[in-house]
Amino acid sequence: MRSLLIVVAALVPGMQLLAQQNVVQSGATNRKVESILSQMSLEEKITMLGGVRSFFVPGLARLGIPELGTADSPFGVRANSRSTVYAGGIGLAATWNPALAERQGTELGRDARARGIHFSLGPGVNIYRAPLNGRNFEYYGEDPFLASRIAVGFINGVQSQGVSSTIKHFLGNNSEFARNSSDSRIDERALREIYMPAFEAAAKEAHVGAIMESYNLTNGLYMSENGRLLNDVVKREWGFDGVLMSDWGAVHSALGAATGGVDLEMPGGAHFNRDSLMPLIQQGKVSQADIDDKVRRILRTATRLGWLDRPQLDRSIPLLNERGRLAALQGAREGMVLLKNDRNLLPLSKSAVKSIAVIGPNAYPAVPVGGGSAMIPTFHAVSFLEGLGNHLGTAVNVSYNRGIASLAQAVGMTQFMTAPTNGNPGLNVETFENVDLSGTPANTRVMPRVAVGRALDLGGLATGEIDFSAFFGPPGAVSTRWTGYITPQTPGTYDIFVEQGGFGDQGYRLYVDDKLVRDSWKIVTAIVEQQSVSLDATAHKIVLEHHAVRGFGTPFYRMGIVRQGRWIDPTAEEIAAKADVVVLAVGFDPETESEGWDRSFRLPPGQDELIQRIVARNRMLFSSRPGILGRTGARHWPRSCSVT
């Protein structure tokens, strides 16, 4: 006890000095903020509360307030150029290393400064409560304490560089299915013990600059209007003095969000604008004090992080940051987990192994991230094939085969005819300007295959390869009926898969020979769904009915039919049989695990078949399933797997 008292006494003077410094700094910040606020008109204040040009917060040049840039940055900065990608959320959590999280955050903050970014939109800390959540790869796992420690370390690193972290998505956003309409019903104890700790630690310990509220409802209220959680808990109870930012398009009404606690509406002022807010202020439903508090929070964050005193763009920091690359490498190493080592297969011996077959859809090219806003265009991602080849050099013969048709190839290989006999190649397509296929078609045509739109490649936004406005289609609904015939060359069991993408409301029904075999009209459980049907060698009628309401992201969907046993490239089996060891890389990728949609529990179509066929040809199998390094747990693995 005496030792403890001596230590505490020794620390008190330093603690007092630090407290005094914080008070002085806070006082100076507040005085500067109040000075700027007092010079702003009400109209200027309102203008600052709604984003502009999708990823920017309005500035005010006459008072020296710059336009503030934001960028999706859960584990890499997607803005203006390619960027270094650090360990994904679950991979970083798997390191159990808050110091490494801070190191990676520091380097990500430097990457943001090199691109002139003020708000880094990350980290994501929603707790794993549904294993099929399409964004689980972004988050820090199911343990609130671990998530808190990793989040605090990461945020401290980012903000040490004068960049604000934006912790997300508050609160109860634990599935992508119906994320704009689902209601997370959570009791108080679960809120406090499971869902809130990472956010609370970020606010109280890391003093995070911004918190992003989620799309969903929690306990009956949209989070953008949930004053009890945003105002009472976050702002008052936790003392959070930063910015409560909406997710993109998550505000539903000006009054609800203004009084519910949202400070900044992104990506634009659809509700936080003069036309909507001024009447509410004049009617006394929203006070000028509320508006001042919102602007004050933006100015306080900007002042605290130095954005009013210097340019955010720091050209002395290289875009390709070698320090960041080394931190990313360390994160990849520490995030790996050895689950099994049957027959002491590992480590492989260069002297004993003379040939390795690298097989699988995730073997090459590398799959560093999942889909959606986490997509980062990388400078260079090292695949399993390249990594093994570089390490082994000429000592071991390394061969490669993808092993399985891609979903796009499977769609292209599906041959339809317009009639059971004497038809033309393709399907008859009827398009209706409503969601229920009613009335007379607005358009009829013949299409060679079911393939509409394209996958939502947000990564291309960073390099200027994709125009962001292209993802906002005109409002309205559309439904389509596709009717075609296939005649199998051989009878057997066939896999029919339907893949959907984009962020709009979509659904479909699938008929085989006028029998409904899949009804996902109202509920689509996964981004890729498949159905197995038995077909003989005669003509079979296939009908796909699809509907979509356009929103953010144009509708994207496609369908393919493959006979079981025909997914696999025979060459893959041949090289597997000849090799001493097979490295089999299977799993998910941005097209099968993504924001906007949940994923399936089973592997993507054909991959189970690939594993079975390759294992049958070579029992020395070193199998990697994840696709995103370290993101999957033991319950997802095939029995033959050894490591991730």
Q: Which helix (H) or strand (E) holds 4?
A: helix 2-38
Residue type at 213?
E
Q: What is the pLDDT of residue 54?
A: 82
CATH class of the domain whose range is 39-304:
alpha beta
User: Is 495 a catalytic site residue?
Assistant: no
Residues 6+ apart with CB under 8 A from 641: 339, 340, 623, 624, 625
Do residues 135 and 176 touch, judged by C-beta distance below 8 A? yes
Q: What is the pLDDT of residue 259?
A: 98
Q: What is the pLDDT of residue 502?
A: 74
Find the catalytic residue in 247, 495, 589, 598: 247
Do residues 265 and 257 touch, judged by C-beta distance below 8 A? yes
Prior bond of 347 cis (ω within 30°): yes
Q: What is the pLDDT of residue 550?
A: 63
CATH entry 1.10.287.70 includes domain 407-563: no
Domain map (residue ranges) of the chain: 39-304, 336-404+568-636, 407-563
Along the chain (644 residues), what's the average pLDDT of each consecutive run of 10 residues?
Answer: 35 38 67 97 98 92 97 92 94 97 98 98 95 95 98 98 98 92 96 98 98 97 98 98 97 98 96 98 97 98 97 96 95 90 85 94 94 91 95 94 96 97 97 96 97 67 45 71 97 96 85 98 92 97 92 79 96 96 94 91 95 88 48 29 27
Structure tokens at 113: 């400064």
Q: What is the pLDDT of residue 623?
A: 63
CA distances from 425 to 48, 254, 361, 486, 542 (A): 56, 52, 30, 10, 14
Q: How far apart are CA 451 and CA 404, in angstroms?
A: 20
- Please provide the DSSP assignment of 109-134 as one string: HHHHHHTT-SEEE--B------TT-T
Q: What is the pLDDT of residue 344?
A: 85
Q: Which CATH architecture has domain 336-404+568-636?
A: 3-Layer(aba) Sandwich (3.40)
Strand order of the β-sheet with 183-184 is 183-184, 217-218, 221-222
Tell me the three state secondary structure of residue 583.
Answer: strand
